[in-house]
Structure 1
Amino acid sequence: MFPDNLTFSIADTVNTWVDALVTHYGDLFRQVSDSLLWVIVSLETLLRATPWWLVLLIVGAIAWHATRKVFTSLVIVGLLFLVGAVGLWEKLMQTLALMLVATLISVLIAIPLGMLAARSTRLRAVLMPLLDIMQTLPSFVYLIPVLMLFGLGKVPAIFATVIYAAPPLIRLTDLGIRQVDREVMEAANAFGASRWQQLFGVQLPLAMPSIMAGVNQTTMMALSMVVIASMIGARGLGEDVLVGIQTLNVGLGLEAGLAIVILAVVIDRITQAYGRPRHEVGK
């Protein structure tokens, strides 16, 4: 048995800190929660109100624009039609809304952080260990403070998803910018381009395949949080998976699980196609 005089606990300290945070900034968290909930509910309402055939047409058009392949676009549309055919269209739209909002927030946070990390070695040295922690820490651990700050529902699910999904995009944005050929940067510098012109005119366009790979990874990781998000009140396909597990309804869980896989395949094909150089698309 480990000696008692050598043990210690940080639980009380963390609890005190979280309680103080809720006491002093509770109103601010409530405002953020209400605003984010309005965005999620509005997007979900829009998706659910849009006719299913129009959603399929839009997705098919996006798929064709990304891949330039008619067959691939038809397969993507057919897979989504299959989800609707088994009666999971409403749940699919709920999951899609949750995932789109989480991915958008992740992109808005991760790409600027990746750009700053690529420009600052000190920031990168601080940021990388934090990203390691965010990726390796079990999601249930950071669900606890998020639930205390925002309660049950879609909002804590969004924040938990962002914490889990943003690190790959930060890393790949930083990596893509750092891997831009030095000779190209020297040529841009020789032509008198400012630092901002070099960043937005040279580095970001050349790093775009890496950044889009990061967006792809972030989207996939956001989708992998669907079932966990359902445990804290977020509805959607994850809810059916959870109910299937709890009630031993294998068929229900399998249908919802396959629907999540189909959504993952659709998004993966589209984001990967956008990540490839445009002259390679359609080959």
Structure 2
Amino acid sequence: MNIPKLPLGSWVEWLEQFMTLHFGPVFDFIHAVIGGMVNGIEAVLTVVPALVLIVLIAALAYWLGKWKLALFAFIGLYLIDNLGLWEQSMQSLALVLAASLLSIVIGIPIGILCARSNAARNIVTPVLDFMQTMPAFVYLLPAVSFFSLGVVPGVIASVIFAIPPTIRLTNLGIRQVPEELVEAAEAFGSTPMQKLVKLQLPIAMPTIMAGINQTIMLSLSMVVISSMIGAQGVGAYVYRAVTQAKIGDGFEAGVAIVIMAILLDRLTQKIYKTKN
């Protein structure tokens, strides 16, 4: 018995055409907002001389961590500048920061909603499973279709790929708050918002920060993939090196990405520990 093939691809293409036709102004607005955000972050990062910014980041690392982290920050960032990849690294960092900020702003409220509603969690969890298992390259297709080429579709694809950890761990952190503490807060007349802000979020913050840390790392992992659709930065150097078989250039760009990844990972881990 031959079962006809489901025209799933045709349905998806019809949906893409429908959304492009009827929601074009919405996509244009999102494109303008995200593009302005990335350009603003990049302008801040590039307007300061490289050596000055290196010293400032090293000082931040020393304040948050120890002298070893500060030394690594100074040597690592100076190496990026020495390799002639400073401007490209700042472009990539602007993309990562924009995608991470959007993921946090969107993800934490969704995580809170999932923690307070089992129905919401049951709806969101399969969507997150789909987002995390779908190959990252697939996200580039609708992103390019709706937002054309450039850095904006790269940010959109990065948000879709990187947001699940923030949602999952925000939900997990709030649900792990001891029920006795929640009941005590209710007994003292706390409103739901007071319980959330003064009890649940502070206790869940280490778990939430772990999710944010993973989101930042996943956003950085999308730098090279985003370069395939026109996003500039270090990822473009890696992609060009792969297509032209330039091993040396690819290694240098890869080292720059590794340095940024280690710094972002260590600094985000230290931020919450310093506050506490």
2:107–2:164 Cα contact (<8 Å) kept: yes
Residues paired across the two proteins, number:
276
Distance in 2 separating the partners of 1:17 and 1:202: 43
2:64–2:274 Cα contact (<8 Å) kept: no
Distance in 2 separating the partners of 1:234 and 1:75: 28
**Equivalent position to 2:20, from 19, 22, 25:** 22
What is the DSSP-based 3-state SS (H/G/I as helix, E as strand, rest coil) of the residue aligned with 1:161?
helix
Please, which moves more after superposition, 166-175 or 34-43? 34-43
**Residue 144 of structure 2 is aligned to residue 138 of structure 1:** no
**Residue 259 of structure 2 is aligned to residue 262 of structure 1:** yes
Which AA in structure 2 matches 1:250? I
TM-score (norm 1): 0.94
**Residue 39 of structure 2 is aligned to residue 41 of structure 1:** yes
**Equivalent position to 1:187, from 184, 189, 197:** 184
Which AA in structure 2 matches 1:73? A
Which AA in structure 2 matches 1:233? G
What is the DSSP-based 3-state SS (H/G/I as helix, E as strand, rest coil) of the residue aligned with 1:6?
coil
Unaligned runs of 5+ in 2: none
Which AA in structure 2 matches 1:7? K
Deviation of 1:278 (Å): 4.6
**Residue 61 of structure 2 is aligned to residue 63 of structure 1:** yes
2:113–2:120 Cα contact (<8 Å) kept: yes
**Equivalent position to 1:31, from 29, 32, 45:** 29
Unaligned runs of 5+ in 1: none
Which AA in structure 2 matches 1:232? I
Deviation of 1:51 (Å): 0.9
**Residue 150 of structure 2 is aligned to residue 153 of structure 1:** yes
2:103–2:163 Cα contact (<8 Å) kept: yes
1:164–1:222 Cα contact (<8 Å) kept: yes
Distance in 1 separating the partners of 2:234 and 2:34: 21
Over the residues paired in the alignment, what is the CA RMSD in angstroms? 1.4
Q: 2:271 maps to what in 1?
A: 274
Distance in 2 separating the partners of 1:277 and 1:190: 32
Distance in 2 separating the partners of 1:110 and 1:175: 13
- Give identity over the alignment, percent: 43
**Residue 166 of structure 2 is aligned to residue 169 of structure 1:** yes
Deviations 1:191-246 (A, max 9, x none): 21111100000000111101111110000000000100000000101000001101
Which AA in structure 2 matches 1:31? F
**Equivalent position to 2:70, from 37, 59, 73:** 73
TM-score (norm 2): 0.96
Distance in 2 separating the partners of 1:199 and 1:45: 36
Deviations 1:67-112 (A, max 9, x none): 2x12322222221111111111111110111110000000000001
Distance in 1 separating the partners of 2:6 and 2:199: 52
